[in-house]
């Protein structure tokens, strides 16, 4: 074996798959009993829940498409569902196309007019690193940064955009580099949310099937440098001495292993904060306007810890038995969790504030996603660069904290990396 990959989440497995395609002998170690990391589909009363991603953004001819095709992963798209932002006490539709934006009550007329000027805003060099809110205010105007951005970012990173670096959503800078966001989006085309047949958890399962050695229930505990540019990794009574070790781990886990061999790298990666979030899955009688929609996000100052709810039974009908609407509500994150949102009763009360016609839940399930989402705060670029620069030869670190938060970002980042 030439490369040992630590971490059998989607990052580690997809990295292993790429290396294997290049003819390298790879082995993957995963600490949990099953592969997937946050990408797992768990059975639930005649359907299932996702522990992490609900879907992945797909387009023909992209990294996601190439990987799905190469491993023979069938997938489907629910199409374009309605979506809303909860603001001013009501759910306001988010227009799918720019013309509808002009008559949307989501933003003031001044904000909309300022947005239209985006193609004429000068492109700024990538350095110095800009804040996410400042970037959006500069390109689309302060109204978008304060009225629309917070709910969108809460739906991806469960954190307020004022805290975050532009590197939190790398696509934005990539689009700007093409002249303007409008131009970048136009050139890259429309992405569709897709879900593999059987749920997101099928992606890591299928990847693992294509790999020769994936060990589960095996946590790497120690990393040591050996003479002759080799490494020793040990854990769970097993020892390997590969030429290369890839840490496909959250930054805080990578930092633990790197401490003794690369303290500078460990300190930089260990300083990247992560966000925890509570997820409530619930089943209800279908509501005509909600059942075929993506769901809604709440403007954070109004949500006060309730970030919004998605409709997984629309994204993937196998999620729930026929005639049942399944919701997934997001609580807390970097906004904190008020006491009333500790229990389902409080979550349901908040849900009904926005969707008064919602029936009493027929089934409820709670999951706590601890330190599940990286929080690329301002200064993130320097932390990642310092972490990577101080890595010894033969060690690499791959993560959504490096490539971007979504599965699409990871798979695109890995193609460039490999």
Whether 246 contacts 330, CB under 8 Å: no
Of 407, 411, 412, 413, the one binding ligand FAD (CB under 6 A) is: 407
Separation of alpha carbons 239 and 228, rounded Å: 17
Helix axes of 10-21 and 407-417: crossing angle, nearest 10 degrees: 30
Considering the complex, what minimum distance in angstroms separates the CB of residue 265 from ligand FAD?
16
At residue 327, φ and ψ (nearest 5 deg) are -115, 160
Considering the complex, what minimum distance in angstroms separates the CB of residue 248 from ligand FAD?
6
294 is an interface residue for ligand FAD by CB under 6 A: no
At residue 234, φ and ψ (nearest 5 deg) are -130, 155
Number of residues that bind ligand FAD (CB under 6 A): 37
Separation of alpha carbons 14 and 396, rounded Å: 15
Secondary element (H or E) of residue 276: strand 274-284
Cα-based distances in Å from 397 to 38, 70, 75, 157: 18, 24, 29, 21
Considering the complex, what minimum distance in angstroms separates the CB of residue 91 from ligand FAD?
20
Considering the complex, what minimum distance in angstroms separates the CB of residue 173 from ligand FAD?
18
Q: Which stretch binds ligand FAD (CB under 6 A): 51-59, 142-150, 262-270, 317-325?
A: 51-59
Considering the complex, what minimum distance in angstroms separates the CB of residue 281 from ligand FAD?
11
The 10 Å Cβ neighbour count of residue 81 is 17
Minimal CA–CA distance to 158: which of 325, 303, 338, 340?
Answer: 303
Nearer to ligand FAD, 141 or 376 (CB): 376
Nearer to ligand FAD, 138 or 215 (CB): 215
Of 3, 41, 54, 282, the one binding ligand FAD (CB under 6 A) is: 54
Angle (CA) 380-381-384 rounded to 5° is 85
Q: Which stretch binds ligand FAD (CB under 6 A): 17-25, 166-174, 180-188, 404-412?
A: 404-412
Residue 23, judged by CB atoms within 10 A of its CB (0-12, 13-18, 19+), counts as exposed
Task: Give the bridge partners for 232, in sequence order.
Answer: 224
Site string for ligand FAD, 162-201 (x = CB under 6 A): ----------------------------------------
Of 91, 206, 399, 411, the one binding ligand FAD (CB under 6 A) is: 399
Nearer to ligand FAD, 221 or 342 (CB): 221
Site string for ligand FAD, 9-48 (x = CB under 6 A): xxxx----------------xxxx----xxx---------
Cα-based distances in Å from 325 to 40, 41, 210, 239, 279: 21, 18, 35, 48, 16
**Cα first-last separation, the chain:** 18
Q: Which stretch binds ligand FAD (CB under 6 A): 83-91, 125-133, 282-290, 401-409?
A: 401-409
DSSP 203-256: HHHHHHHTSS-EEES----EEEEETTTEEEEEETTEEE--SEEEE-S-HHHHHH
Considering the complex, what minimum distance in angstroms separates the CB of residue 249 from ligand FAD?
5
Considering the complex, what minimum distance in angstroms separates the CB of residue 34 from ligand FAD?
9
Whether 162 contacts 378, CB under 8 Å: no
Nearer to ligand FAD, 90 or 219 (CB): 219
Site string for ligand FAD, 229-258 (x = CB under 6 A): -------------------xxx--x-----
6 is an interface residue for ligand FAD by CB under 6 A: yes
List binders of ligand FAD among 324-383 (CB under 6 A): 369, 372-373
Nearer to ligand FAD, 141 or 201 (CB): 201
Considering the complex, what minimum distance in angstroms separates the CB of residue 277 from ligand FAD?
6
The 10 Å Cβ neighbour count of residue 360 is 9
Considering the complex, what minimum distance in angstroms separates the CB of residue 316 from ligand FAD?
11
220 is an interface residue for ligand FAD by CB under 6 A: yes
Separation of alpha carbons 269 and 256, rounded Å: 10
Of 16, 19, 56, 251, the one binding ligand FAD (CB under 6 A) is: 56
Minimal CA–CA distance to 393: which of 282, 252, 281, 261?
Answer: 261
Q: Which residues bind ligand FAD (CB under 6 A)?
A: 6-12, 29-32, 37-39, 52-56, 219-220, 248-250, 253, 277, 279, 369, 372-373, 399-400, 405-408, 410
């Amino acid at each position: 074996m030439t490369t040992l990959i630590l971490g059998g989440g989607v990052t580690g497995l997809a990295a292993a798959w790429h290396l294997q395609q290049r003819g390298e002998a790879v082995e993957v170690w995963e600490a949990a009993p099953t592969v997937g990391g946050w990408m797992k589909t768990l059975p639930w009363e005649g359907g299932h829940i996702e522990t992490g991603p609900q879907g992945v953004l797909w387009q023909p001819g992209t990294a996601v498409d190439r990987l799905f095709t190469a491993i023979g992963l069938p997938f489907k798209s629910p199409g374009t569902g309605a979506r809303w932002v909860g603001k001013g006490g009501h759910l306001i539709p988010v227009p799918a196309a720019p013309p509808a934006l002009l008559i949307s009550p989501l933003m003031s007329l001044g904000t909309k007019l300022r947005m239209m000027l985006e193609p004429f805003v000068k492109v700024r060099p990538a350095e110095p690193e800009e804040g996410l809110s400042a970037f959006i205010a500069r390109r689309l105007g302060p109204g978008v940064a304060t009225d629309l951005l917070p709910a969108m970012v809460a739906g991806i990173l469960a954190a307020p955009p004022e805290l975050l670096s532009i590197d939190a959503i790398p696509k934005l800078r990539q689009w700007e580099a093409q002249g303007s966001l409008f131009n970048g989006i136009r050139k890259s085309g429309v992405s569709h949310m897709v879900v593999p047949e059987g749920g997101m958890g099928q992606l890591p399962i299928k990847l693992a099937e294509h790999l020769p050695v994936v060990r589960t229930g095996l946590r790497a505990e120690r990393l040591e440098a050996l003479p002759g540019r080799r490494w020793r990794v040990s854990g769970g009574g097993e020892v390997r001495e590969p030429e290369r070790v890839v840490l496909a781990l959250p930054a805080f886990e990578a930092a633990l292993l790197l401490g003794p061999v690369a303290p500078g790298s460990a300190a930089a990666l260990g300083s990247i904060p992560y966000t925890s979030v509570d997820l409530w899955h619930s089943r209800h009688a279908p509501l005509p306007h909600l059942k075929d929609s993506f769901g809604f996000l709440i403007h954070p100052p109004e949500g006060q810890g309730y970030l919004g709810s998605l409709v997984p039974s629309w994204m993937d009908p196998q999620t729930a038995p026929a005639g049942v609407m399944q919701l997934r509500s997001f609580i807390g994150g970097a906004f904190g969790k008020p006491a009333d949102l500790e229990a389902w009763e409080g979550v349901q009360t908040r849900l009904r504030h926005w969707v008064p016609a919602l029936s009493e839940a027929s089934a409820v399930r709670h999951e706590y996603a601890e330190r599940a989402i990286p929080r690329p705060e301002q200064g993130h670029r320097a932390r990642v660069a310092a972490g990577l620069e101080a890595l010894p030869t033969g060690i690499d670190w791959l993560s959504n904290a490096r490539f971007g938060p979504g599965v699409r970002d990871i798979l695109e980042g890995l193609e460039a990396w490999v």
